[in-house]
Structure 1
Amino acid sequence: MTAPYYADDQVALYLGDCREVLPALGLTADLVLTDPPYGDTALAWDRWPVGWVAAVTPLARSMWCFGSMRMWLTRAGELEAAGWQMSHDVVWEKHNGSGFAADRFRRVHEHALHWYRGPWREVHREVPRLPAQYSAKGRTVSQRQSRTPHAGEIGAATYIDDGLRLARSVLPARSMHRAAIHPTEKPVTGLLEHLIAYGCPVGGTVLDVFAGSGSTLDAARQSGRRAIGIEADERYAEAAARRLSAAPLPLDAA
């Protein structure tokens, strides 16, 4: 039995290669949320781990996976061959880019694609509703029937404005930079919290097979979900364990 590197009442973190660790755990998850190496650079650690998709496929029916456009053009076929279907994508808009090439647009975004297996009607999904910049909160609003040529007919409706709107597909969130534990760390606030809210019910389980700094595990725990993570590099597993052993903060203070 594989012993966790770190564990508490809501989180378990394992050290090792996910392709080797997962078969020993016998787990299932409501949502996979992970950030694999994209294979975009010549850096030694930036190598696509062949076989990780097959390893997670039997364990969940819903998955958010980060990646660059180059990565997806190369690797999307592996997910489709394993039975995954893409539902939609979200763009993380960083406050500052990380690229240094002077012959390209400055890259200030990354993609997160949502994939699912099986009938769409059976997949948990709940789009977060966020405060609107402009709203008529409390006012009764009438929406006329309209027809958009490429999207079909929208029926008339009356509703009371609650000041909230569906989260947009572009999520602005500050990059971690100097505060980062891991070089590709994703922020909890404004990004991971919304992806988890969409794909995993409260009390459910989130699986991250490239746990890195433990940000996904931290975000899941703070939002009332359980989390299981696997990290192959002990330096980052140790850093994630220190992070997770600290008292969790509310999401708005993270």
Structure 2
Amino acid sequence: MKPYYSDGQVTLYLGDMRELLPALSLEADLIVADPPYGETSLTWDRWPDGWPTLAATAASSMWCFGSMRMFLARSHEFADWKLSQDIVWEKHNGSGATTDRFRRVHEHALHWYRGPWSASHHDTPRVPASPEQIARNGSAVRTSAPVHHGAYGPARKWTETGTRLARSVLTVRSMKGQAIHPTEKPVPLLDHLVTYGCPPGGLVLDPFAGSGSTLDAARLSGRRAIGIEADEKYAEAAANRLSVLTLPAA
């Protein structure tokens, strides 16, 4: 198949992922998917039936964006996957037209995997600790974190590293006012997901490439990427975006 765009590190195909993915026979390290949630009457917002099953043939690790409504309604389609965790993307602005509910300022991204967890690449996300945290927790002995059913494990010794686990709520400004695609995700948000689930130099697959944000994030972080986009208008926009970011050969 002829790519719609390729620069040696990033490749974009035009078409329905349900038709192209089997033909591509990919073995990706990570999928980052932002499918249509199927929650509105908009013409483009149509859930592609069966896509999670097809995705399972291409990789063993996947981040998927969605709403709680979407994941509950489509849970049976993720039968080939096991859920490891979820993160919450907190936006700076709300979305949705309802006026009788809490203002929605977040979306979920769930991490799915297949096979043994130990075989799935996961780069533990850590952030610098504040001076206050280091001073407060300077003791070499600390009670371990809660485990299932509210029980606590025994005290364990640990060494202060100056870092802490990153929180599962990621606050990143949305693309409102500058988005190419109506559901475009910001590159700084996608960078967290890509670097967590894909080793450096590995391959990221985005089956709903949209404006090319995931491809952009993957390339900027030193990963390779393949995207598939069904709408030529957005495939063209993604190609233009990626070609502008491509540096000429020396």
**TM-score with structure 2 length normalisation?**
0.91
What's the counterpart of residue 215 of structure 1?
A: 213
Structure 2: which 5+ residue stretches go unaligned? none
What's the counterpart of residue 225 of structure 2?
A: 227
| SS across alignment from 2:26 | coil
> RMSD in angstroms over aligned alpha carbons?
1.9
Trace 1:73-222 onto structure 2 (pairs within 5 A).
73-80=72-79, 83-133=80-130, 134-136=132-134, 141-145=139-143, 148=146, 150-162=150-162, 164-189=163-188, 191-222=189-220
Give the C-alpha shift of residue 57 in structure 1: 1.1
Q: Structure 1 residues 157 and 180, CA, compared in 2 at 3 Å: closer, same or farther?
A: same
Give the C-alpha shift of residue 100 in structure 1: 2.3
What's the counterpart of residue 29 of structure 1?
A: 28
Which residue type is aligned with residue 131 of structure 1?
Answer: P
Give the C-alpha shift of residue 195 in structure 1: 0.7
What's the counterpart of residue 252 of structure 1?
A: none
Structure 1: which 5+ residue stretches go unaligned? 250-254
> 2:60–2:115: 8 Å Cα contact kept in structure 1?
yes
> 1:4–1:14: 8 Å Cα contact kept in structure 2?
yes
Q: Structure 1 residues 230 and 144, CA, compared in 2 at 3 Å: closer, same or farther?
A: same
Deviation per CA, 1:198-244: give whole Å up to 9, x if none.
11111110000000010000000000110000000011001100111
State, as a whole percentage, how many aligned pairs show the same letter.
63
1: distance between equivalents of 2:82 and 2:220?
Answer: 29
Q: Structure 1 residues 65 and 146, CA, compared in 2 at 3 Å: closer, same or farther?
A: closer
Give the C-alpha shift of residue 86 in structure 1: 0.6
1: distance between equivalents of 2:95 and 2:176?
Answer: 9
**TM-score with structure 1 length normalisation?**
0.90
What's the counterpart of residue 238 of structure 1?
A: 236
> 2:7–2:246: 8 Å Cα contact kept in structure 1?
no
Q: Structure 1 residues 54 and 161, CA, compared in 2 at 3 Å: closer, same or farther?
A: closer
1: distance between equivalents of 2:112 and 2:144?
Answer: 31
Give the C-alpha shift of residue 127 in structure 1: 2.2
Give the C-alpha shift of residue 141 in structure 1: 4.3
| SS across alignment from 1:153 | coil
> 2:31–2:205: 8 Å Cα contact kept in structure 1?
yes
2: distance between equivalents of 1:239 and 1:88?
Answer: 32
What's the counterpart of residue 48 of structure 1?
A: 47
Matched positions, count: 243
| SS across alignment from 2:65 | strand
